Structure 1
Amino acid sequence: MTTHEPLTDEELAAIEDLAEAATPGPWFVRHLDDEAAMNLVAISTVPDTGRGERWPNFDHHEIVAATLIQRPRYVDVADELWDENAQFVANARQDVPRLIAEIKRLRQLLAQQGQQDFEA
């Protein structure tokens, strides 16, 4: 699929299935720090406290994903947009379902308009 092709109903349903199967939201960006994951930028099911907690003062079960782990350096994107990427991923948890609902609403309006044009 390219970005120029219309999204089919099946593709929209597949995206919706993926969103529904993911860990429930909301998701938040967390900045954590510890010996094992120095400067961890993570997506979490709980909000950031602003304290940069160190292990074991945060529950690893709250972490959905990470965009930066510097030590060892194995989660680190070359463009250094880890904060921006984390914000995008965290917001996707609520934004994707909203976008799906909007697409469905607009498609329904278009179908209703088409039916009205057909009846006129």
Structure 2
Amino acid sequence: MQHPKKKKLCKLSPNILVEAIQTFLEKEYDGKKYDEAERCPHCKSKNFYLHSFRKKTFCILIKENGFKEIDVKIGVFRCKNCNKFFVALNTPFYQGCKYGKPIVDLCLWMTASMPYNR
């Protein structure tokens, strides 16, 4: 049985650019907590409490020695009025998307500025 090939960094990208982006993502997002909420999105009540934190992968970096997951902690709140759960509002994710906002924005910008048919 063959083992999977080791992933390598893209040779087309300058190393200084790749390192700058990876360093920024590690410093800005790794282990950061998001726990801001103003009101329950279900009943609009301000009577809620922080129930727990959920770990979510923001992105996965390809490093020289393997992969590194950048994880963030998302606050999960529970409303005392309607007993429903909801997550913090200031998360770095678009609703229904499992990739971080900066990653999605970069992909959208790249597809708009450099379409596949050019």
Relative to the length of structure 1, the TM-score reads 0.29
Greater share of residues in strand: 2
Greater share of residues in helix: 1
Rg comparison, structure with higher value = 1
